[in-house]
Amino acid sequence: MQLKIVITGGPGTGKSTVIDKLIGLNYQCMSEISRNITLEAKKNGIDQLFLKKPLLFSQLLLEGREKQYIEANSKDAKIVFFDRGIPDVHGYMNYLGVDYPNTYLKKSLEHKYSHIFMMPPWQEIYTTDNERYESFEQSLAIYNHLKKTYIDLNYNIIEVPKGTVDKRTNFILNMINSAWSEIDQN
């Protein structure tokens, strides 16, 4: 059995920093792909693909995240962490108020994760850059849409407390170790 664990939340909440820490601890991790898609679009002359062509951007994300999920199945690892999951795609579309094909929901139902860890909005660490353009208020709204999306898919969300990277990483690992203990006992 393999645990597939999503670390999600609004932009700028520390997800990728925790993923980087987990990589440093030799855990198998699937990195966020949205920055790569955004940078590739910029090379092709489309600045902010997410805003200009949200359906195209989201379709590319959906395909990439599904590919990551399938790739995780071939990894010789008991635990695989994902920097965002498939449901994040339609969570963002809900935030934008953009209609999307039913395949988005279908893919989320087909590819289930073991645990969902959510990073709450945290204004003190929030910054913008060339790929992250959202304001803190927008990040908060995105967080709420993502949380609702996962809840609507019947996931139990575990909120990661604010703290240092080490404290947040240890919180996640301790929760997972508890889950493994329960599995071993059954």
| Whether pLDDT at 29 is above 80 | yes
CA distances from 40 to 44, 48, 78, 89 (A): 7, 10, 32, 18
Domains of the chain: 3-178 (3.40.50.300)
pLDDT of the residue at 143? 93
Q: Residue 8: name the closest of 61, 48, 52 by CA.
A: 61
Q: Residue 117 pairs with which residues in a beta bridge?
A: 7, 158
pLDDT of the residue at 111? 96
Locate 167 and state its tokens.
Answer: 């404290």
Position 3, amino acid = L
Instruction: Read off the pLDDT of residues 32-83 as tens digits, 9 standing for 90 and up.
Output: 887 776 667 667 665 665 666 767 778 888 888 999 999 999 999 999 999 9
Read off the pTM: 0.87
Exposure b/e, 24-53, CB count within 10 A at least 16 = b: eeebbbbebbbeebbeebeeeebeebbeee
